[in-house]
Amino acid sequence: MSRIVYLDGNLVPHEKATVHVYDHGFLYGDGVFEGLRIYSNKVFKLKEHLDRLYESANHICLQIPLSLEAMTEAVNKTVAANTLADGYIRLVVTRGVGNLGLDPRSCAKPSVIIIVDSISLYPKEMYEQGMEIVTASTIRNHLNALNPRIKSLNYLNNILAKLEAIRAGVPEALMLNQNGEIAECTADNIFLIKHGRVLTPHINAGILEGITRGTVIELAKKLAIPVEETTLTRHDLYAAEECFLTGSGAEIIPVTKCDNRVIGGGKPGPISKKLIEAFFKLVRQ
C-alpha cells in the first residue's frame, strides 16, 4: 500500500516525496523531528509532541513555517489520508535548501515533512519475556556540545552506540553521560525499580524528556507508586529488581538482562507489568 506523505503543504505518494540534495537537513543534519503514535485513529499526546518540536526548533534558531494550529491540522490531515488506525508518525522540519557550507542563512525556507506508517522496533516475545541490553562505550553527547534535549536530526551519537549493541547481539544499548552516570538508551528512556520505587535519570543527566517517559511518571503517581527522577549508575541497574524502557516507537518494554547480568528475577516484574497495563489502558481510552 502506498503511503501518503505531507511535503511542504502537499499530500503526495511516498515514492514521490523527495527532498533536495542541497537541503541542509540532508547535508548536515540541520533540523528537528518528533516521533508520535497513533492509537485508535487518534494521535497520542499531540500537543506535548508539538510543544517539544517547537522548543527544539527555537533552540537551534529554526523558524518553523507553520503555526502550532496549522501544524496540528497538517498532522491530523496526513493521518486521515493514510487511514491507519494504529501507527507511527515521523514529523521532520529541516533547515531547507541552501548553499554548500554550514551557514544556515543560505536556506530560504525550512521544509516540513510528515510521514505516517506502521512501526515495530522489537519482536513481540521481547515485550512478554523481556529484552537484553549492553552498556555502550560511546557516551551521550555532552550537554554543552549538543544538548540531548534538542531532538535534532543529528543522531550519529546514538547510531554509534546502536552499532555496539548490534555487535553484541542485542537490540539496544545503554548510554552513560560524561560523568559515568546512566543517561538513556539509543532510542529509549530507562526506568529502574528498586525497593518498590520507580527511578529514572533526571533531565540533568543528559537525556531527552520523553513523552512516554512523562506519561509513565504520571501513571506511577496516580497508582501511588513512589517515583523519583535522580542520579543513577550501573550499580543501581545491576542491583535493580526490575527495569524497563520507554519511547514512542518502543512504547514500554521490560529489560531482564544488562551486560550479561540478570536483572531481578530475570523476567518482567510486577510493577513493570502494572505500569504497562495502565499505559495501554490509557492510550486506548
Q: Catalytic amino acids?
A: 151
Contact 198, 227 (CB under 8 A): yes
Identity of the amino acid at 68: L
The secondary structure element, H or E, covering residue 13 is strand 10-13
How many beta carbons lie within 10 A of that of residue 184, not counting itself?
A: 26
Helices (H), ranges, the chain: 24-28, 46-59, 68-82, 124-129, 156-168, 211-222, 234-238, 270-284
> Which class for 259: exposed (0-12), middle (13-18), buried (19 or more C-beta within 10 A)?
middle
Helix 68-82 vs helix 46-59: crossing angle, to nearest 10: 130
Provide the total of helices (H) and of strands (E) in the chain, helices listed first: 8, 15
Please state, in angstroms and rounded to a whole number, the distance separating the CA atoms of residues 92 and 152: 9
Can you say whether residue 206 is alpha, beta or left, with left for phi > 0 and alpha for psi between -120 and 50 degrees?
Answer: left
**Cα-Cα end-to-end distance for the chain:** 28
